[in-house]
Structure 1
Amino acid sequence: MTSLQLSAKEDMLERFLDASARGDLTQVSTLLSHVPSLINQTGYSGWTGLMLAARNGHYDVVEALLSHGCDKFSVNSSSQTAYDIAKFWGHRHISNLLGRTDDGSQRVLPGSDPHQQENYFSRETLDRLSAKRTDTVWLEDKQSDPDTVYLLFSNLSPMVRSSQEDDNAVGETKLCRFRYEAVKDLLQKPATVLIFLGVEKRKTPSSSSSSSQTVDGVQEPPAWFAINTDEVAAELLKRCRERNCSFPKTPNRDLLKLNEEEAGVVAQARSVLAWHSRYSFCPTCGSSTTLEEGGYKRSCLNLDCKSLKGVHNTCYPRVDPVVIMLVIHPDGNQCLLGRKKIFPVGMFSCLAGFIEPGEAMEEAVRREVEEESGVKVGPVQYVSCQPWPMPSNLMIGCLAVAISTDIKVDENEIEEARWFPRQQVIDSFRGAHPALTMPPRQTIAHQLIRHWIGMNSNL
């Protein structure tokens, strides 16, 4: 192809994208009639004509492009579909149109797939098999299976090992895994808490585990359990043959060093074990309780207790919901971040707070933001969530749009809050703004800020 031909094609694409952005339906239709292949071609940062039309609210152009068979599932360099763009800019009539399937029903588009917003501690590498928790025979068989994996916890911290060879090296942190023979004595101790975590997920339908047990001729994958015991930590460490084993002393920092797969397992195990550490006695009558259903229920030993009649949430592991939100300035180009006194120097993060009983998520966002910063919030949009096993929270990540900008910090909650321009935040991520530090990448706060930058970087 000659440079002249290439230039002509580039010019045609530029005219098509410009017409789509301006809402010039006549020119869009004319260009497509001459060069149908323009319909899914991309310009700057991967934007298609459909995305540009959706950004600027041109319903008739979007409708025409869809009728010509354009790909509404394609994403730009910020992983946004046209649906995501229309929804962000409030063009509901267009997002509703883009959100329909061929039969007219609504669907979630790939660009809004929650798997694209996976957060640390969220990955599920085990099949929990909750239906097996009441099958005591099956659980007992699994406990003694030679392929079963056990994780040891002391004071709610898992035993881990580091691959570092010296104090100055940065090593990889991994969970220490034990087999039945190494822990069977602990299972006999009354104070031991045993949690069934699940079985390993098969990566492919044809893959098989090394387990010798079979069901209908199909080998079962290995089961995983977590053990929390009152045995001295130093004695537990002697059970591990690996070097550099330890129990993390600062979980908020040390547990962030695990890989994604093991972090998800720890989130499950630590949250349930933390609940057991606080519910040895019945919250209803004060009597002792006993562990049931693979560690996912505690029953009161007092036969006259009200908790044994009907369903009571005190019998099951609790999860405390927390809203964590990135507040966006009305101009769309600044975000509100705050810092607590315990934060490292220069670090700012999203505001957060517990949801109160009888309170909706959106109202919790508005209340917490106003209490902590004095800023009033209007629209609230859910983004993603993150289990946070310190001890057992569910962080519900949201974007919120401010309707006021004056800041008045509640010094009991946070030390300081400020509006930060988007470019300053971007520079901080790049390490080009040493006076401002973002929260670690494993936190949902970090991911919310990145999400906001990605949404606005090309809009």
Structure 2
Amino acid sequence: MRRGEDTGCCDTELQQKDYQRQRGHVLVRGFNSSLFQTTRPRKEQTKKKKTSPDLFEADRLEKLRSQSRMTSLQMSAQEEMVEKFLDAAARGDLKLLSALLSHTPSLLNQTGYSGWTALMLAARNGHHHVVEKLLSLGCNKLCTNSSSQTAYDIAKFWGHRHVARLLSLTDDGGLRGGTLGPQENYFSRETLDRLSGKRSDAAWLEAKQRDPDTVYLLFSNLSPMATVTKVNGGHGADVKLCRFRYNAVKDLLQKPATTEPDTPDAPVWFAINTDEDAAELLKRCENSSCFFPKSPNRDLLRLDEEEAGVVAQARSVLAWHDRYSFCPTCGSPTSLQEGGHKRTCLNPDCRSLKGVHNTCYPRVDPVVIMLVIHPDGNQCLLGRKSIFPARMFSCLAGFVEPGETIEEAVRREVEEESGVKVGPVQYVSCQPWPMPSSLMIGCHAIATSTDIKVDENEIEDAQWFPRQQVVDSMFRGAQQTLVVPPRQTIAHQLIRHWIGINSNL
């Protein structure tokens, strides 16, 4: 049943009908089993004369029938208890549910109709207190029903946010997948006002550079100086940006700088990139734990979301300066303008000085990254490159070509890399990726074919992975056959988004 359908009855009535179906199924199964075991021996018994050996055989068969009836009664009692337990969870009867668990702890993860557990039923009906109780007893919140839905998926679909949040908490009290909000990806948080109107105000920029409240970030060959910290008792971000004042970096201000201002009355931020000796630069920091990350793709993911957003702006602009010291149009030297957000050719005859040209401004390269969904809806296509860590698979991705739409880029890249054809494409969210300066455009795509033919010049392998295996990989820890990218990547978020889709509830 889809959410919002007019079924002519309320949710409670639907729940009762589900359990009536379950009860009928259980009783019929028990009755048929008992009937089969009790009638067949009677037919065999009537075919023979009751001689002495036959009387002995009749006694033996009677004992078997008695044992069969006992087993059937025991099965029915167990199934009745499971049904009562699941019904208590669906109705929110915490007292009865607790009593049943106290008597029979094995009920905790028992399933009923369509593989629904007590946790799923409580989540479906928004019974926060029941969910809390079940979780406190160690209920498995990652198991899925026959439609591949977890209790979290169910609570989220039916709008029980308080229950969904409870189910999303990890064992250490954090949120599954971090604290990123809906449609917010790592590197995308805007904490500083770009104040583009001030970029051409040379006097304002000069004054702010000398302001004692101004914050400077120091980069060495595009790697920001950072320091190791521990927060929240060892959980969370463990790397923070080193912040400097004017007096500590004034000798470097002859080098190109970019501005990342906040508000007119708040401290202004500048970023400086230099190729001077990194060891000498580290001496400017009073903290002995300061360092320049050697692997941006790994180390920059350890920043908190706010500082990651600052780095995304600063590093992308600095990377552009690093590559475009000379005019792309005529090859002449260029000068830095507008607080680092423009480079102007020094050749007065260059045609880049006539009109607006994109070569004068920081460039952004659009990249499509897509999670391809199997036609059955319960598998996704993931690929891996040889440079990936062991067992890691990720979403397919590729650059958008000139004159190409996002949808066509998705279809082309998927077919080129995996041989799979794609039909509908849906945009999900995007992520700035400052290595060096890409915009990752995240999409879901529905496959129209399933045969895989890998282009080994593009990727090493590609496979269809069932939803349950992906869920296990993301939430059940190590020693899995599949490893997905970390939560800071848009690939991770696209996979999480797919797991949460419940079109058949």
Given the two structures, how large is their TM-score scaled by the length of structure 1?
0.71
Structure-2 change in CA distance of 1:377 and 1:301 (3 Å): same
Query: What are the equivalent positions in structure 2 for 1:123-162 lying under 5 Å apart?
Result: 123-162=189-228
The residue identity in structure 2 corresponding to 1:126 is L
Name the residue aligned to 1:298: 343
Q: 1:322 is paired with a residue of what secondary structure?
A: strand
Q: 2:260 is paired with a residue of what secondary structure?
A: strand
Name the residue aligned to 2:322: 277
Contact kept in structure 2, 1:14 and 1:43, CA below 8 Å = no
For structure 1, the 5+ residue unaligned runs are: 1-10, 20-41, 49-74, 83-113, 201-214
Deviations 1:376-424 (A, max 9, x none): 0000000000000000000000000000000000001111000000011
Deviations 1:400-452 (A, max 9, x none): 00000000000011110000000110111123661111111100000000000
Deviation at 1:44, TM superposition (A): 5.9
Name the residue aligned to 1:197: 260
Equivalences, count: 347
Contact kept in structure 2, 1:80 and 1:455, CA below 8 Å = no
Q: Distance in 1 between matches of 2:372 and 2:158?
A: 20
Name the residue aligned to 1:454: 500
Contact kept in structure 1, 2:214 and 2:246, CA below 8 Å = yes
Contact kept in structure 1, 2:237 and 2:304, CA below 8 Å = no
Deviation at 1:185, TM superposition (A): 1.2
Q: Distance in 2 between matches of 1:45 and 1:234?
A: 55
The reply on whether 1:262 has 2:307 as its aligned counterpart is: yes
Deviation at 1:43, TM superposition (A): 7.2
The reply on whether 1:237 has 2:282 as its aligned counterpart is: yes
Q: Distance in 2 between matches of 1:426 and 1:457?
A: 17
- Among 372, 384, 404, the alignment partner of 2:417 is 372
Q: Distance in 2 between matches of 1:408 and 1:325?
A: 18
More helix by share: 2
Name the residue aligned to 2:12: 14
Contact kept in structure 1, 2:124 and 2:158, CA below 8 Å = no
- Among 159, 183, 203, the alignment partner of 1:117 is 183
Name the residue aligned to 1:94: none
The reply on whether 1:77 has 2:155 as its aligned counterpart is: yes
Q: Distance in 2 between matches of 1:169 and 1:127?
A: 29
Which protein shows a greater Rg?
2
The residue identity in structure 1 corresponding to 2:193 is D
Query: What are the equivalent positions in structure 2 for 1:33-52 lying under 5 Å apart?
Result: 45-46=123-124
Q: Distance in 2 between matches of 1:197 and 1:308?
A: 26
The reply on whether 1:361 has 2:359 as its aligned counterpart is: no
Contact kept in structure 2, 1:149 and 1:223, CA below 8 Å = yes
Structure-2 change in CA distance of 1:225 and 1:18 (3 Å): farther
Structure-2 change in CA distance of 1:411 and 1:260 (3 Å): same
The residue identity in structure 1 corresponding to 2:494 is L
Q: Distance in 1 between matches of 2:16 and 2:341?
A: 58
For structure 2, the 5+ residue unaligned runs are: 1-8, 18-119, 127-152, 161-179
The residue identity in structure 2 corresponding to 1:186 is L
Q: Distance in 1 between matches of 2:195 and 2:155?
A: 38
Q: Distance in 2 between matches of 1:125 and 1:335?
A: 34
Contact kept in structure 1, 2:216 and 2:243, CA below 8 Å = yes
Structure-2 change in CA distance of 1:455 and 1:45 (3 Å): farther
The reply on whether 1:329 has 2:374 as its aligned counterpart is: yes
Q: 2:501 is paired with a residue of what secondary structure?
A: helix
Aligned Cα root-mean-square deviation (Å): 2.7
Structure-2 change in CA distance of 1:377 and 1:81 (3 Å): farther
The reply on whether 1:223 has 2:268 as its aligned counterpart is: yes
Contact kept in structure 1, 2:157 and 2:502, CA below 8 Å = no
Q: Distance in 2 between matches of 1:79 and 1:128?
A: 37
Given the two structures, how large is their TM-score scaled by the length of structure 2?
0.65
Higher mean C-alpha deviation, range 401-410 or range 114-123: 114-123
